[in-house]
Structure 1
């Protein structure tokens, strides 16, 4: 990110599991620290908060004239604690959830963020697995093939994170570099996480969903989207989320998709990191406007199953489940004696959207990703040394996506083909009806047509019944 413009802060950084957003994106998105860097103060429920909430000025982010001068390290624990104390009860009222406990508050500098991130990264992920996930994403063109995935994740976090909440320690950490204008936003978002934790046990909801990345991502959309929507409801005052126009909500997500290449050297990971704060917020806000905060409470009892549901409120309300999809890798393994199945997982609509937006405007990328029904991929270490080809040894990745209609599949095939042409030199792509099969990291010695034919034989899809398929097609027009 050295030569890029500074991105918007990712304020809602919380502890992670080992699955997640296609690999590295989830690690960055849901990382958080497990230990306190120093003793932290506690913000108890405030008896006088109701009076403060009735004061219009007190319910808006503000910068006090006597605050320390801004700059690296200007923010101290006392200032962060005071801001949290000012905001906590007001956030509680905006979210319609009572404060039932205390939230610890502390500050951390950028080197501290990096140190804690590295420590936390390996709580549930080994260095070997992190390198594997990096190689898988490199095979699909999401990160460069010659860069260290650990450094990519740590650089993203050190440069972009403004604050984070740790459910294990019941503590929110605010970057000591956060400026006065941004401070209330960061504290407001993180306090919202503390409120979530009091009522819904965030630690429980962030348990690793190994090999179920898209489902894990859906939870991130809910948790981060709710926290940011709570902050926006507080800022909006008495009108709450009703004051926020749909055009504003749409613009947030489209800006994330369209601007990532400007603010980051790793734009697909940047999109993955920021979409929960944008599209997740939009979905939560729309649901609250329609059905109230009680509908969000209910989502913690029946969690979203896919990022598709959190990208499309109609899919969420209908509880449209992903189409169960797998690939039996046995045939592929037989093509490569000595090969091993290194990884398998789901991508999900959000990850595919992040990839498509790399080659298409947000409007086109969204249309191409909509109609997603399910997906699955496998990654094989073939045993073929590709250094002689002048290529790092990335795994062979074979994936299949299932769509609501043949038309949806054809639209995705066209746009995803453009992505592969630009980002993946050793790829293949094929469509059969409402399914699209892709392969990346194909060794030069392998015939692509034979590889695809073998892969198709291993695809297994448990399709909805005809009535359900007709309903999906009708929704898609």
Structure 2
């Protein structure tokens, strides 16, 4: 898969899970939006991952319009346009997408549907979309804070800038997303891996993630190759990390 597309699809992690948090609330010690959610998640993430935040994570809100601008911007530089045009041509030649499908606007709409929040390694800020349901915002914060912690030890920005080596980029993205998904699930289960490790437990969680994705209209209408490209780093990455 193309470098630029994989980089943008990495932003969609918050839309992958709808499990209910069993974590106990803690006294907030952070300021700004979602201070209570951040204060609750940080110590659990540090315990699960085994690393401490070097600096407090930053979190801000973004309007849906700002998210659309951000997503659109990822496709507008000359290299991105060239990559997407080539990928679209290859998909059509192989019969993987309809001849009438325009990949760039479709991906923009798909990502808008998926994104509840994202961590930007360039600004070092976790962004949550205004008006997001509370449960989804909590899941987003937990997942993306894992990325914020990863970024304090390994530069995620440098990984996202990998060029001309899609296999390397895909492997790195799957490791980062896989850890975030797996630790998020563990935290949602109260810090226990019992349900994950029970016979059939992990398979059921994978099914739940796929079912949730399929409930989203644009994702459900997407060609199979786009669906699998979107979901691969999360499911297969978590399987590897497990």
- Give the corresponding residue for 2:181: 228
Aligned equivalents of 2:213, 2:43: Cα separation in 1: 35
Give the number of the structure whose residues are more often strand, by fraction: 1
- Give the corresponding residue for 1:265: 221
Deviations 1:300-333 (A, max 9, x none): xxxxxxxxxxxxxxxxxxxxxxxxxxxxxxxxxx
- Give the corresponding residue for 1:135: 89
Aligned equivalents of 1:154, 1:189: Cα separation in 2: 22
- Give the corresponding residue for 2:6: 26
Aligned equivalents of 2:54, 2:114: Cα separation in 1: 31
Report if the CA contact (8 A) 1:249-1:278 is conserved.
no
Report if the CA contact (8 A) 2:54-2:152 is conserved.
yes
Report if the CA contact (8 A) 1:165-1:172 is conserved.
yes
- Give the corresponding residue for 1:58: 25
Aligned equivalents of 1:227, 1:151: Cα separation in 2: 28
1:148 aligns with 2:102: yes
1:284 aligns with 2:212: no
User: Which structure has the larger Rg over C-alpha atoms?
Assistant: 1
Q: What displacement does 1:249 show?
A: 2.1
- Give the corresponding residue for 2:196: 244
Q: What displacement does 1:31 show?
A: 5.6
- Give the root-mean-square deviation of aligned CA atoms: 2.9
2:122 to 152, 165, 168: 168
Alignment of 1:20-419 (within 5 A): 21=1, 25-30=5-10, 57-58=24-25, 78-123=32-77, 125-210=79-164, 212-239=165-192, 241-245=193-197, 247-254=200-207, 263=216, 264-268=220-224, 269-285=226-242
Report if the CA contact (8 A) 1:109-1:176 is conserved.
yes
Q: What displacement does 1:280 show?
A: 1.5
Structure 1 spans left out of the alignment, 5+ residues: 1-20, 33-55, 60-76, 286-477
Structure 2 spans left out of the alignment, 5+ residues: 13-22
Report if the CA contact (8 A) 1:162-1:178 is conserved.
yes
How many residue pairs were aligned? Answer: 224
Q: What displacement does 1:123 show?
A: 4.6
Q: What displacement does 1:122 show?
A: 3.4
Report if the CA contact (8 A) 1:189-1:227 is conserved.
yes
Report if the CA contact (8 A) 1:209-1:215 is conserved.
no
Give the number of the structure whose residues are more often helix, by fraction: 2
What is the TM-score when the length of structure 1 is the normalising length?
A: 0.43
